[in-house]
Structure formats: C-alpha cells, structure tokens
C-alpha cells in the first residue's frame, strides 16, 4: 500500500511568517519565533514534507527568502518544497541551492506555461509542484485564482486542471481559498473537478484544524496527502500527537520509533557511533 503524506505549510512574507484566513494575512513572528516554537530537527519525524511559500505582496526579496530557507533546512530531515514568484531557472536554482528539494509554481502556469516546461527540463518533472488556488464564485462554481488570489482566471477550474494534467509537473497542491485558515475541515468537493486523466499525486490544503480533518482527507482515495498551514493549532507537540492518532486510526503513514530516533540523536551529539 502506498503511504499517505502529512505536509506542513509555512507562509513567508518579507521576513515574517504568517497566518492566513481566506488569503488575508496576519503576522505571527520572524524566523527566531518559528525556530523557538517549532524544532524541525524533532518534528521532522511527525511530518512527511514541508512546503514554504513566499506570499509577500509586492516586490519579493529572493535573497532574503533564500537565507530563511537555509536556516529552515538546517537539521530538517524531510523534503522541502519552496515557491512564490518562481518562474525562471535562476530563481528555481537559487531555492534548490538554499535547501529546497522541489519547486512550487503557481501564477506562471497561467502566465507562461512554457516556463513550466523549461523548469521541468532543467530540474526534472518530479521537482515541480503545481499549486492551484480555488474559490467558489457567487453561483457556487469553482474558479482558479492566481497572483496570490487577486486575479481570477477565465478558464473553468476543470479546463485549467485538465490543461495542467498534461504539463510536466510532479504533483498538484490544491488550496481552498474559502476554507483557508478557517479550521472548518477540508473541502473535498474540490476533488470533483479533477480530470480523470490526471496521474500526478494530489495534495489538498485549506481548512485543517485538527487530526480528524486530516483523517477525513487521507481516507479519500483521490488524495495522496493533506497540508496544514495553521501554526497555532499544531504548536508544541501538536503535529506529533496528530500523526500518532492518524496511525492509530489506520492511516498508512510512514512510522518511525521516536524513542530510538531520540537515542540516535543523543549518541550523534555525543560522538558515539
């Protein structure tokens, strides 16, 4: 049985890490705050991947973002996917050299799809994560928004995702703007617009507030992973307890014996091999 994945998403805005509700941002703290409240050398064993998105409104400072990426990647033992304004080889390479294992693309899918092809040729299709932000309009129909949720695309969500399914991307990261930051649970109806021809793994984000919401998503056969960006709901040992609860309830997540890993870390610190 293929393993499901639990993903933790961090939202970065000009040196600060943020909470988001329906794509409205609220500052939480800087890198020091994050490192104080989330020891990634330990919680790495409670998540399968980290996604770091530069959601800075306005001009982005790639060098500063890369500095934060290098600090986050130190002693972090799970893959990191990073993005936000990535559209060319130079910006993608800068993130990969700063500790990212994958690149997340969003607006460039609509603006310059040929650039996605170029990135995949340079770094490999498995390195490209396609992020799609979805919102329901006044008629209840799903629409795709780009530019940090500020620009609706004219294509229907189904047409957009069908076109994306044929592009050289390794996986899809779907985010519900309506559920974003609400803690009300995932909107699994977003998955109804996925094309049948889609072969890439699918990650769903937006609405997770507790482990039961994770369970809801991970038991859906259309999903390979769920993601949460809610910093406060999973502070401390929240992620550890959530993963343990999911495994106990039969979710096929990778399992590590944390006691053994802790002893190995102590021995490594003492220089014992």
Strand duo 24-30 + 225-228: pairing: unpaired
Give the pLDDT band (50/70/90) at residue 263. low
Q: Does residue 137 have an active-site annotation?
A: no
pLDDT higher than 90, residue 265: no
- Reference 172, options 51, 43, 44, 20; nearest CA is 51
pLDDT higher than 90, residue 206: yes
Q: Mean per-residue pLDDT for 243-267?
A: 72
Give the pLDDT band (50/70/90) at residue 235. confident
The domains located in the chain, with CATH, are 5-270 (3.20.20.70)
The DSSP line for 97-122 is HTT-SEEEE-HHHHH-HHHHHHHHHH
Partner residues linked to 7 by β-bridges: 49, 227
Give the pLDDT band (50/70/90) at residue 256. low
Q: What are the tens digits of pLDDT across the range 77-89?
A: 899 999 999 999 9
Q: What are the tens digits of pLDDT across the range 156-173?
A: 999 999 999 999 999 999
Q: Which of 133, 180, 187, 224 is catalytic?
A: 133
Whether the CB-CB separation of 213 and 243 falls below 8 Å is answered with no
Higher pLDDT, 36 or 115: 115
User: d(Cα 171, Cα 227) in Å, to the nearest integer?
Assistant: 13
Q: Where are the beta strands (DSSP E) in the chain?
A: 5-13, 16-21, 24-30, 49-54, 80-83, 102-105, 128-136, 142-146, 151-156, 171-176, 202-205, 225-228
pLDDT at position 2: 78
User: d(Cα 2, Cα 57) in Å, to the nearest integer?
Assistant: 38
Give the pLDDT band (50/70/90) at residue 270. very low
Give the pLDDT band (50/70/90) at residue 103. very high
pLDDT at position 197: 87
**In Å, how far from its chain's centre is CA 48?**
11
């Amino acid at each position: 049985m293929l393993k499901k994945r639990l993903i933790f998403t961090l939202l970065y805005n000009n040196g600060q890490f943020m909470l988001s509700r329906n794509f409205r941002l609220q500052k939480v703290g800087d890198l020091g705050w994050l490192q104080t409240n989330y020891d990634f050398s330990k919680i790495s064993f409670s998540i399968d991947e980290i996604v770091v998105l530069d959601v800075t409104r306005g001009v982005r400072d790639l060098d500063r973002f890369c500095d934060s990426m290098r600090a986050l990647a130190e002693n972090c033992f799970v893959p990191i996917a990073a993005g936000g304004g990535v559209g060319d080889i130079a910006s993608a390479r800068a993130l990969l050299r700063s500790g990212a294992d994958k690149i997340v693309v969003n607006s460039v899918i609509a603006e310059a799809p040929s650039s996605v092809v170029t990135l995949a040729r340079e770094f490999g299709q498995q390195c490209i994560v396609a992020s799609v932000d979805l919102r329901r309009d006044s008629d209840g129909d799903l629409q795709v928004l780009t530019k940090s949720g500020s620009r609706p695309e004219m294509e229907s969500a189904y047409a957009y995702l069908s076109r994306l399914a044929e592009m050289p991307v390794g996986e899809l990261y779907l985010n519900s703007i309506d559920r974003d930051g609400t803690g009300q649970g995932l909107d699994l109806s977003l998955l109804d617009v996925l094309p049948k021809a889609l072969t890439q793994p699918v990650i769903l984000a937006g609405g997770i507030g507790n482990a039961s919401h994770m369970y809801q998503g991970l038991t859906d056969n259309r999903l390979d992973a769920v993601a949460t960006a809610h910093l406060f709901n999973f502070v401390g040992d929240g992620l550890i307890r959530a993963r343990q609860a999911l495994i106990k309830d039969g979710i096929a997540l990778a399992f590590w014996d944390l006691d053994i890993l802790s002893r190995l870390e102590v021995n490594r610190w003492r220089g014992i091999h």
